């Protein structure tokens, strides 16, 4: 009965195939002069282009820390590695989580135990940030988040999670303050606008963690600022057509349309609005989709007048923050595009890592945790207009949130054949007259 071929084959297949799992990655000895940081982003699927931006921002920051940059005035350009760690270089280990929380968690384990990273940065999608931060919490490994803005993330009492970017609450308050500013006539280039022209809101949120929480926040806060929500939509990004959603908004006749979108869906919305000749007074986007260079480049003239919340505006950088303008130039040389809210936040996330490591003077998790909780990065060191970086809490249930962050509102303006993002809020930093109302479609 016993067949040699058969047994060989069966044993061979079963065992060999499974042994494939056992092929451990080549253990890298890793010189002490190198500090690894695991970076998790979506680099495939619908968010691949966003992941590319984040990657570019993060890599630029690492290069500026590691190499000598005599022409840059930002302090860390003189470091050539982390000073308190004997000039150790930062090495980013980038991985693609494919927008899947489970894969993100698995890769985080790989980064922590196999690659021996000192910490993790990521993950853009708020849902993946959740699962990855859970892994970090269990392993006791620090994680700094630069791009996820769901307010829930810093409200879970985690001891190993810090976030540099302001969250959606800050941005939502900014929006309403901006609308009040319009009523009070504080916005550059626009007179006082009657409140009736601005108080009917239509909210359209993308059906993910980020979009849902963002939309709910807007809905909750609107009455506090005397606004009414006339249409509230959550839509699926896998929907091939958004005509009926746009028609429903048009029928509700809102003054402001507020999006919490990713990039491809907001492009589709704008094109549909154009075909419906639907132009509300204000079209505002909650960062992710509307802030990206792709959005402006793809829509061209149609993006003219769209308002977006952001944290970085090149025009402001040129005027008030020389170091930011320098960094922007380096970035532009590399990629051909200006820094955007997305890439600038990734840059700042890695920068925060560098400062935390420098303050900790060690790669021990406990030391890094202590450094994170105590760190203060001065506003002169960063490219943002923030008051610096200091992790604390704005409310008692919050933990690890950068309390010095600040949001901005920019407007895409079509000038000489290209879109320029001009600042309109904070009012003191306005770089151009605001276009109000949103221009009628031709």
Partner 1 sequence: MALAAEITASGILMGSIFALVALGLTLIFGVMNVVNFAHGEFLMIGMYSAFLISTFLSIEPLVSLPFVAVVGFLLGIITYYLLIRYLLRGPMIAQLFGTFGLMLFLRYLVMFILGPNPRVLHQGVLIGKSVSLSWFTFDISKLAAAGFSILLFVLVSWMIERTKLGRALRATSIDAEAAGYMGIDTEKMNALAWGIGGATAGIAGGLLANFYYITPTVGMLFIMIAFATVALGGFGSIRGAFIAGLIVGLIMMVAGYYLSQIKLAFVYLAYFLVVVLRPRGLFGW
Partner 2 sequence: MVGKMKAVVGVLKDTFSFNDLPLSERIAFAAFLVFVFFFPWIVHTSYPRVVMIRFLLFAMYGLGWNLIGGYGGQVDLGQAKNVGFGAFATALMITWWGVPFWITVPVGITVAVVESFAVAYPMFRLRGHYFAIATLCVALVWQKLFLFWDWTGGARGVELPIKSAPNFTYMQFGTIGYHYFIFALFMAEFLFMNWFRKSKMSYELQAVRDNEDAAASLGINVTWTKVKTYLITAAMGAVGGSFYAVYHLYIDPRCVMQLDLSILIAMTAMVGGAGSIWGPILGAAILIPLDMYLGALLGGMGFYGIDFIIYALIIMVIAAREPRGIWGIIERARRRGYVLRG
Interface ranges with partner 1 (CB under 8 A): 44-46, 48-49, 51-52, 207, 233-236, 238-245, 247-248, 251, 263-264, 267-268, 271, 274-277, 294, 298-300, 302, 442
Q: Which is nearer to partner 1, 210 or 235 (CB)?
A: 235
Q: Quick check: 24 and 114 in contact, CB under 8 A? A: yes
Structure tokens at 328: 């922007």
Structure tokens at 421: 């993002």
Task: Report, in Å, the least distance between residue 281 CB and partner 1.
Answer: 19
Q: Which is nearer to partner 1, 8 or 251 (CB)?
A: 251
Task: Report, in Å, the least distance between residue 335 CB and partner 1.
Answer: 12
Residues with Cβ within 8 Å of residue 343, at least 6 apart in sequence: 53, 54, 56, 57, 60, 331
Task: Report, in Å, the least distance between residue 24 CB and partner 2.
Answer: 5
Compute φ and ψ for 259, nearest 5 degrees. -105, 145
Residue 277 binds which entry of partner 1, partner 2, none, CB below 5-8 Å type-dependent: partner 1
Q: Distance (Å, rounded) from C-alpha 353 to C-alpha 136? A: 15
How big is the CA angle at 172 (ends 168 and 174), to the nearest 5 degrees?
A: 120
Which residues contact partner 2 (rule: CB under 8 A)? 1-7, 9-11, 13-15, 17-25, 27, 39, 43-44, 48, 52, 55, 93-96, 98, 100-103, 105-107, 109-110, 112-114, 127, 130-131, 134, 137-138, 152, 156, 207-209, 211-213, 234, 236
Q: Which is nearer to partner 1, 7 or 239 (CB)?
A: 239
Task: Report, in Å, the least distance between residue 77 CB and partner 2.
Answer: 24
Structure tokens at 176: 């309403």
Structure tokens at 276: 């419906």
Residues with Cβ within 8 Å of residue 39, at least 6 apart in sequence: 55, 58, 92, 93, 94, 95, 120, 121, 122
Pairing mode of beta strands 256-260, 282-285: parallel
Q: Which is nearer to partner 2, 15 or 251 (CB)?
A: 15
Residue 233 binds which entry of partner 1, partner 2, none, CB below 5-8 Å type-dependent: partner 1
Of 212, 189, 190, 422, the closest CA to residue 303 belongs to 422
Task: Report, in Å, the least distance between residue 288 CB and partner 2.
Answer: 14
Task: Report, in Å, the least distance between residue 243 CB and partner 1.
Answer: 5
Compute φ and ψ for 289, nearest 5 degrees. -80, -50
Q: Quick check: 119 and 162 in contact, CB under 8 A? A: no
Task: Report, in Å, the least distance between residue 111 CB and partner 1.
Answer: 23
Residue 244 binds which entry of partner 2, partner 1, none, CB below 5-8 Å type-dependent: partner 1
Structure tokens at 309: 């919340």
Q: Which is nearer to partner 2, 199 or 206 (CB)?
A: 206
Helix or strand run (H / E) with residue 220: helix 209-221
Total number of residues shown for the chain: 442
Residue 20 binds which entry of partner 1, partner 2, none, CB below 5-8 Å type-dependent: partner 2
Q: Distance (Å, rounded) from C-alpha 258 to C-alpha 234? A: 12
Q: Quick check: 175 and 284 in contact, CB under 8 A? A: yes
Task: Report, in Å, the least distance between residue 54 CB and partner 1.
Answer: 12
Q: Which is nearer to partner 2, 17 or 29 (CB)?
A: 17
Task: Report, in Å, the least distance between residue 277 CB and partner 1.
Answer: 5
Q: Which is nearer to partner 1, 192 or 297 (CB)?
A: 297
161-163 β-sheet, strand order: 89-96, 34-41, 119-122, 143-145, 161-163, 401-402, 391-392
Residue 211 binds which entry of partner 1, partner 2, none, CB below 5-8 Å type-dependent: partner 2
Residue 268 binds which entry of partner 2, partner 1, none, CB below 5-8 Å type-dependent: partner 1
Structure tokens at 370: 């202590």
Of 317, 275, 267, the closest CA to residue 291 belongs to 267
Task: Give the orientation angle of helix 341-360 with respect to helix 48-66, to 10 degrees.
Answer: 40
Q: Which is nearer to partner 2, 163 or 321 (CB)?
A: 163
Residue 36 binds which entry of partner 2, partner 1, none, CB below 5-8 Å type-dependent: none
Q: Which is nearer to partner 1, 115 or 206 (CB)?
A: 206
Task: Report, in Å, the least distance between residue 62 CB and partner 1.
Answer: 22
Residue 134 binds which entry of partner 2, partner 1, none, CB below 5-8 Å type-dependent: partner 2
Residue 131 binds which entry of partner 1, partner 2, none, CB below 5-8 Å type-dependent: partner 2
Q: Which is nearer to partner 1, 238 or 416 (CB)?
A: 238
Compute φ and ψ for 406, nearest 5 degrees. -150, 140
On the CB side of 335, CA atoms within 13 Å amount to 22
């Amino acid at each position: 009965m016993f067949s040699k071929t058969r047994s060989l084959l069966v044993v061979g297949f079963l065992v060999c195939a499974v042994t494939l799992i056992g092929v451990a990655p080549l253990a890298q000895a890793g010189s002490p002069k190198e500090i690894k940081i695991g970076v998790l982003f979506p680099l495939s699927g619908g968010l691949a282009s966003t992941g590319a931006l984040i990657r570019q921002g993060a890599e630029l920051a690492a290069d500026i820390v590691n190499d000598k940059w005599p022409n840059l005035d930002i302090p860390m350009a003189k470091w050539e590695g982390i000073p308190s760690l004997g000039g150790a270089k930062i090495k980013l280990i980038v991985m693609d989580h494919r927008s899947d929380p489970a894969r993100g968690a698995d890769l985080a384990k790989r980064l922590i135990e196999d690659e021996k990273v000192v910490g993790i940065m990521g993950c853009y999608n708020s849902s993946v940030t959740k699962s990855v931060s859970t892994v970090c919490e269990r392993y006791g490994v620090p994680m700094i988040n630069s791009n996820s803005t769901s307010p829930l993330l810093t409200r879970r009492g985690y001891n190993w999670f810090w976030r540099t970017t302001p969250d959606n609450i800050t941005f939502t308050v900014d929006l309403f303050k901006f609308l009040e500013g319009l009523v009070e006539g504080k916005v550059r280039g626009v007179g006082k606008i009657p409140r009736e022209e601005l108080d009917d809101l239509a909210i359209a949120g993308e059906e993910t963690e980020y979009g849902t929480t963002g939309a709910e926040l807007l809905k909750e806060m609107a009455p506090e600022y005397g606004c009414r929500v006339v249409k509230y939509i959550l839509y699926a990004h896998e929907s091939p057509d958004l005509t009926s959603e746009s028609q429903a908004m048009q029928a509700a006749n809102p003054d402001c349309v507020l999006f919490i979108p990713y990039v491809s869906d907001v492009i589709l919305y704008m094109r549909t609005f154009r075909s419906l000749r639907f132009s509300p007074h204000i079209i505002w986007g909650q960062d992710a989709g509307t802030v990206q260079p792709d959005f402006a480049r793809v829509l061209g003239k149609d993006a003219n007048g769209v308002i977006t919340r952001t944290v970085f505006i090149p025009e402001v950088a040129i005027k008030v923050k020389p170091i930011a303008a320098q960094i922007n130039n380096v970035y532009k040389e590399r990629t051909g595009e200006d820094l955007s809210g997305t890439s600038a936040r990734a840059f700042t996330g890695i920068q925060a890592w560098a400062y935390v490591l420098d303050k900790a003077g060690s790669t021990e998790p406990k030391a890094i945790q202590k450094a994170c909780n105590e760190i203060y990065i001065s506003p002169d060191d960063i490219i943002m207009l923030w008051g610096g970086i200091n992790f604390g809490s704005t409310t008692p249930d919050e933990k690890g949130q950068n309390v010095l962050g600040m949001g901005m509102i920019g407007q895409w303006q079509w000038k000489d054949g290209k879109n320029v993002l001009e600042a309109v809020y904070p009012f003191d930093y306005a770089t151009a007259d605001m276009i109000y109302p949103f221009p009628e479609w031709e």
